Amino acid sequence: MKELEAKFFFDTVYRILDAGLSLVVIHIETRDSVLMMLQKLGVILVEQQTMGMGNIRREALSGSRMHFPNAQYFCWLEPEKPDLVRFIVPMANQMKKTQSDFGIFNRIDMASYPTEQAHYYLFCRAVATQLVGFDIDYAFGPMMMTPATISFFLEYSGGRYGDKWDSILVPRLRIIKGGIKFSVLPVNFQNDERMTRVESGNVAITLKRLEQFNNVIPSLIAEWQFLNE
């Protein structure tokens, strides 16, 4: 699995660089040979200083803003989603055209995913859509921000909800409720078939989905209720 994850990571790196985009990577306990290779490619490396899912994600965003203080757009992307790279520029173009400060990627279908994962995503989407009043692929991680909205994620503490997957999801609700203009881009994203083969029917992954579910749905409902009090 680790070897496969490394392949996904480099697939994503090469696609980002081939698109002419800059890349910031948070790393820890990574082989020197890998770090040297990334540096030669022009990747900006930031050594991880904290622990915990939420803290590490904020480190990535903070490092991006620090290294690119004049950037118009920042894209958050997990390394195992190389196919998402082709939608970064179209999202930036749409946000520029509509003068939006936040970008949401809505997948067109879930056919490329393991059944368990597809059901998880669809359930989260159905609940969030009912709450916020428009179709939102809520549990899909990738997103686009401007300097005006990246602060919503950097200032999130996560103490109420566990500071796990909620760390990149709950701030979206605050952006939406705050009346900040956002764009929604439908994307024909395809989960990598290698990942689908490995994760389909995998008991450990199924338990991870359950953990995600128990973090994402309660925090979604509680935060939206809080914002509407």
| Residue 94 structure tokens | 């749409």
The count of other CB atoms within 10 Å of the CB of residue 18 is 9
Instruction: Quote the pLDDT of residue 30.
Output: 75
What pLDDT does residue 35 have? Answer: 85
Asked if residues 203 and 114 have their Cβ atoms less than 8 Å apart, the reply is no
Give me the tens of pLDDT residue by residue for the chain, a chain 229 residues long. Answer: 567 777 888 999 999 999 999 999 888 877 788 888 888 898 989 888 888 899 999 999 999 999 999 999 999 999 889 999 999 999 999 999 999 999 999 999 999 999 999 999 999 999 999 999 999 999 999 999 999 999 999 999 888 999 999 999 999 999 999 999 999 999 999 999 988 998 999 999 999 999 999 999 999 999 999 999 8
> Which pLDDT score is estimated for 28?
80
Number of compact structural domains in the chain? 1
pLDDT at 152: 97
CB-based contact 52:74 (threshold 8 Å): no
pTM assigned to the model: 0.93
For residue 113, what are the domain limits?
2-227
CA angle 129, 107, 122 (to 5 degrees): 50
Q: Can you give the CATH number for the domain in which 28 is found? A: 3.90.550.10
